[in-house]
Amino acid sequence: MNPSKPEAAVEPIVLNSKIVSWYEASARQRVRLMLDAGSFQEFIGPEQREESPHLQVFDLPTQFDDGIIVGRGRMAGAPVFVAAQEGRFMGGAFGEVHGAKLTGLLRAAREVASLAVLILFDTGGVRLQEANAGELAIAEIMRAVMEARAAGVKVIGLIGGRAGCYGGGGLIAGCCSALAVSEQGRISVSGPEVIETNRGVEEFDSRDRALVWRTMGGKHRRLLGGAEAFVDDTVDSFRNIALNLISAVPGFGPDILKAEQARLEQRLQRFGMCADAVDIWKAEGVADTEAVPAMAAADFNDLANKAREPRYDAR
């Protein structure tokens, strides 16, 4: 295979990446627009046709790239490795090939050590039709993320797509050096419907959008400390925050895990008895909790920075 083959051309949308919605963009568009023009080189692109071998049994169609794009490009001149999940194919879920592409990228990153890795999450978790392979892929990715971080690699997670970052995806996100999330982004292990099925609609009404977003959405994650940054739903915002986080995040070491243990213990002490997100926000000094969901990013970030300064040394 020819590794220097140019990337496949992708449909153009609005050329100005400032106003392109991250949520509306496809994975290919996100990668194309985040990186410096013409700099992206895909590894095992769609023309290689490495599709899932497991979907035919279920009479399900495959996608040529199995729903994830991995490769290398430049951001503001600096080389980076990038992986982007397509949330609209099988819910962005991890299958055997899909997961292996990310595993391979991270193992390479560990060896190279000087390039950051951006993971553009857009996933419901494990692909059920390949559940065991998907689960294992996630386990291997978690290991590979930590080995890369131990080699000095910054692994930055960006979350703002249709599928959110659910299930095993949420665990991989928790292994990243830092996370940025938008209004549309959600991070959770169990999905809303599963919680409702397990605990009843009184505890969690999965159709109550406001509740779902208060519990799992980008703003709550930022206020809780589950993500370092909250950004606008634009490609440009994600690009800028990725650049910021790459330089803000320190190298990995045992102090980071100790600090995280303390951070997570403290969170349980402070908020372990809170019934709802608004109780947590109130406890953090947010006066008008009802205004939070509708706040635009700039105003929200002013409020969030007062409630909780982001820290980069405890993930």
Which 117-176 residues touch other proteins, going by CB under 8 A?
Answer: 126, 128-140, 142-144, 146-147, 150, 167-168, 170-175
Question: Any contact of residue 26 with other proteins (CB under 8 A)?
Answer: yes
Candidates 21, 43, 208, 307; binder of other proteins (CB under 8 A) is: 43
Maximal C-alpha separation, the chain: 59
Candidates 60, 76, 113, 210; binder of other proteins (CB under 8 A) is: 60
**Minimum distance of other proteins from residue 6's CB (angstroms):** 7
Candidates 21, 64, 293, 295; binder of other proteins (CB under 8 A) is: 64
What the block records as the tokens of 215 is 């519990």
Select 108 or 295, whichever has its Cβ closest to other proteins. Answer: 108
Select 173 or 297, whichever has its Cβ closest to other proteins. Answer: 173
Dihedral of the alpha carbons of 265, 269, 271, 274, in degrees to the nearest 10 = 130
Question: Any contact of residue 5 with other proteins (CB under 8 A)?
Answer: yes
Select 160 or 168, whichever has its Cβ closest to other proteins. Answer: 168
Which of the ranges 212-220, 243-251, 284-292, 293-301 carries the binding residues for other proteins, by CB under 8 A? Answer: 212-220
CA angle at 174 for the pair 100 and 22, rounded to the nearest 5°: 75
Candidates 18, 258, 306, 311; binder of other proteins (CB under 8 A) is: 258
* Residue type for position 115: L
Site string for other proteins, 264-293 (x = CB under 8 A): xx-xx--xx-xxxx--x-------------
Candidates 61, 152, 250, 285; binder of other proteins (CB under 8 A) is: 61
**Minimum distance of other proteins from residue 94's CB (angstroms):** 11
Question: Any contact of residue 224 with other proteins (CB under 8 A)?
Answer: yes
CA 73 – CA 84 distance, rounded (Å): 13
Question: Any contact of residue 257 with other proteins (CB under 8 A)?
Answer: yes
Which of the ranges 93-101, 235-243, 285-293, 295-303 carries the binding residues for other proteins, by CB under 8 A? Answer: 93-101
- The β-bridge partners of 241 are none
Using only C-alpha atoms, what is the Rg of the chain?
19
**Pairing, β 155-159 against β 116-121:** parallel
Question: Any contact of residue 104 with other proteins (CB under 8 A)?
Answer: yes
Write the burial class of residue 131 (CB in 10 Å: 0-12 exposed, 13-18 middle, 19+ buried).
Answer: middle
Question: Any contact of residue 13 with other proteins (CB under 8 A)?
Answer: no
Handedness of CA 88, 6, 100, 17 (dihedral sign): negative
**Pairing, β 68-75 against β 78-85:** antiparallel
Candidates 13, 21, 78, 190; binder of other proteins (CB under 8 A) is: 190
Q: What are phi and psi of 25, to 5 degrees?
A: -75, 150
The answer to whether the CB of 29 falls within 8 A of the CB of 103 is: no
CA 129 distance to own-chain centroid: 22
**Minimum distance of other proteins from residue 298's CB (angstroms):** 25
Which residue from 147, 73, 72, 80 is spatially nearest to 111, judged by alpha carbons? 147
Question: Any contact of residue 187 with other proteins (CB under 8 A)?
Answer: yes
